[in-house]
A and B are shown apart, each in its own frame.
Chain A
């Protein structure tokens, strides 16, 4: 498995997905989903 380091925010999202019952096992695409969630929840730049 990959030795890529995960940050606290990614781990927190994984915890939230697990604890809410939305994800019960770590699949290959899980980190791609988390990455998409992080992008969507990041504040948009250049907008007031």
Chain B
């Protein structure tokens, strides 16, 4: 399975997210409890020239694993259902620890209540629904990091 996911990620064409000042890659912190999905996300980020600063598998791990890298993290990807816990309640804590980091929810549970809470109460930067397409994955992080000027252009194309 690990080999299969690696082949899928490595056989897909990716564009570069670019770099920060001084040629440094954007740093990602991945919060995901499913090993295979975490590997896919991490591999895809690396294929887009991003770097993995760390990861957490549960709500309990978030604080102590984020703490040593909190000042360098640019983007935090976050699953909602971590075991039996809903991770949305951790977002205010994460924002206080790493206020510069952009938070992207990556979830298979896009209920109306989760989406409204994430977007309008917790003000996360993006919400990506699992399973996601390659295009949606690329566009999400390009938008969040400001490397895609055509963000969501197709959504209103017919009405413009």
A interface residues (Cβ-Cβ under 8 A, vs B): 1-9, 11-16, 18, 23-26, 30-31, 37, 40-43
Contacts and interface: CB of A to CB of B under 8 A. Distances in A.
Given A5-B112, A13-B155, 4 more contacts: A1-B112, A6-B110, A16-B152, A26-B121
Contacts of A24: 120
Contacts of B159: 37, 40-41
B156 interface: yes
B158 A6 contact: no
Nearest to A25: B120
B97 interface: no
Contacts of B152: 12, 15-16
B129 interface: yes
Contacts of A14: 115, 119
B95 interface: no
Given A3-B111, A14-B115, A15-B126, A8 B136 contact: yes
Contacts of A15: 119, 126-127, 152
B158 A42 contact: yes
B31 interface: no
Interface string B127-160: 1110010001000000000000000100111110
B135 to A, nearest CB: 10
A31 B126 contact: no
Output the residue of B113, B120, B136 with the most chain A CB within 10 A.
B120
A8 B158 contact: no
B116 interface: yes
A12 to B, nearest CB: 5
A20 B16 CA distance: 26
Contacts of A16: 152, 155-156
B120 A11 contact: no
A40 B157 CA distance: 10
B119 A1 contact: no
B155 A18 contact: no
Contacts of B158: 40-43
